[in-house]
């Protein structure tokens, strides 16, 4: 059997570490007043960032036209 230049397990662990860093960064960002109620970026925070912290990915194709136009 040939040695592979990388293993899928090692790559998966690297991706998980990077994901955890992004989640940590999002949690720090959540303290910004821009993301709080009445903040300029609140709508985007609720739509994109908050679900990532809750580990519920956002899939744009599932969004209805009515929701997009709110």
Predicted confidence at residue 69, as pLDDT, reads 46
- Regions of the chain short of the pLDDT cut 70: 1-5, 56-70
How far from the centroid of its chain's Cα atoms is residue 62's Cα? 16
Give residue 60's domain range. 8-68
Q: Give the number of domains in the chain.
A: 1
Contact by Cβ (8 Å): 16, 22 = no
Predicted confidence at residue 1, as pLDDT, reads 47
Question: Does 2 reside within a domain?
Answer: no
Predicted confidence at residue 4, as pLDDT, reads 61
The answer to whether the pTM exceeds 0.85 is: no
Predicted confidence at residue 52, as pLDDT, reads 81
Q: Please measure the distance between the N-terminal and C-terminal CA atoms of the chain and give it in whole angstroms.
A: 57
Contact by Cβ (8 Å): 39, 33 = yes
Dist. CA 65–CA 63, nearest whole Å: 7
Question: Does 52 reside within a domain?
Answer: yes
Question: Does 61 reside within a domain?
Answer: yes
Question: Does 1 reside within a domain?
Answer: no
Predicted confidence at residue 33, as pLDDT, reads 93
């Amino acid at each position: 059997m040939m040695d592979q230049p990388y293993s899928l397990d090692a790559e998966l662990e690297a991706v998980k570490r990077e994901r955890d860093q992004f989640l940590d960064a999002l949690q720090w960002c959540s303290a910004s007043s821009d993301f709080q109620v009445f903040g300029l970026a609140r709508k985007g925070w609720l739509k994109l960032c908050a679900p990532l912290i809750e580990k519920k990915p956002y899939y744009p194709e599932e969004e209805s036209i009515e929701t997009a136009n709110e």
